[in-house]
Amino acid sequence: MGLDKLLVIGAALFCCGLYTIMTRRNAVAILMGVELILNSANINFVAFSHYVSRVIGGQIFAVFVIVLAAAEAAVALAIFLRLYATTGTVEVDTADELKG
Count other C-beta atoms under 10 Å from residue 61's C-beta.
Answer: 16
Residue 14 binds other proteins, judged by CB under 8 A: yes
* Cα–Cα distance, 22 to 35 (Å, whole number): 14
Residue from the set 29, 41, 92, 95 that interacts with other proteins by CB under 8 A: 29
Cα dihedral 3→14→32→80 (10° resolution):
130
Q: Are 65 and 57 in contact (CB under 8 A)?
A: no
Residue 56 binds other proteins, judged by CB under 8 A: yes
Q: Which is nearer to other proteins, 93 or 96 (CB)?
A: 93
Residue 82 neighbours by CB under 8 Å, 6+ apart: none
Residue from the set 54, 96, 98, 99 that interacts with other proteins by CB under 8 A: 54
Q: Which residues of this chain interact with other proteins, rule CB under 8 A? A: 1, 3-9, 11-20, 22-26, 28-29, 31-33, 35-36, 39, 42-43, 46-52, 54, 56-57, 59-60, 62-64, 66-75, 77-82, 84-85, 89-90
